[in-house]
Amino acid sequence: MIKVQRPARSLDHTRVIANDLAAVLRPGDIVKLVGEMGAGKTTFVRMLAQSFGIAENAVSSPTFVIMNIYDRGKGKPPLAHMDCYRLGDESELDALGWDQIVDSGAIILIEWPDRIASALPDDCLTINIDHVDETSRHFRFEIPKAWLDRAGFDAIRPRPDTTCPTMGTPVPGDCLTWPFASEQARMADLNAWFNEKHTISRPIEQTDIELGE
């Protein structure tokens, strides 16, 4: 497993992490969400769902229904969100249509995955969410090594500190407007593109080419 840590100092930072993860997830992936009650597991799922085009307010906690399924449209496999806290063990999965969900290629997000541990494959993504304070969280990813070959995988990694390409000022890796120092700097760079004064903030990488195909 590849271990990656991402701190989130605010809900906006958490949303950035959710967006980064959404870019890497593929049909059939199973994500184990680990954290105490109140850690923010369902909040993270809502943000992840929004990254897939699902209205954030349409996502509700599956605590009592065990599993909610969300249509991603355009023929894409659905997003399934499970809360296994009330399950005794994996033998109760049949009544939920577990096999059908897995066979559909759904992306499955599971809270309290230890309740059904023996039913899960070894190549799941595990996300440990640690509560820091009211709005801050610390995310610890345990990622299957096979994911290294995925286009855009580096989006999950912490962003390095850099220099704003328009302002020339330092930009910390967790800046919400990275690699720009501010939204104004981002817009200035966009304006430069429109006026053919192109600014490239970093060298083009192979993943950029793959994502554009």
Residue 162 pLDDT? 92
Q: What angle do CA 83, 84, 89 make, to 5 degrees?
A: 170
Give the pLDDT score at 108. 98
Which has the higher per-residue pLDDT, 57 or 208?
57
Percentage of the chain lying above the pLDDT 70 cut: 92
Residue 23: the pLDDT is 92
Q: What's residue 211's pLDDT?
A: 47
Is the per-residue pLDDT at 11 higher than 80? yes
Please classify residue 149 by burial: count the beta carbons closer than 10 Å to its beta carbon, then call 0-12 exposed, 13-18 middle and 19+ buried. Answer: exposed
Digit-coded pLDDT (tens) for 48-94: 999 999 998 899 999 889 999 999 988 899 999 999 999 988 899 99
* pLDDT over threshold 60, residue 195: yes
Please write the tens of the pLDDT for every residue from 148-159. Answer: 999 889 889 988
Please give the full DSSP string across 26-87, using - where no structure is assigned.
-TT-EEEEE--TTSSHHHHHHHHHHHTT--GGG----TTTSEEEE--STTPPPEEEEE-TT-
pLDDT band at 203 (very low <50, low <70, confident <90, very high): low
In CATH terms, the fold of domain 2-156 is Rossmann fold (3.40.50)
Specify the higher pLDDT residue, 196 or 99: 99
Q: For residue 160, is the peptide bond before it cis, meaning its omega torsion is within 30 degrees of 0?
A: no
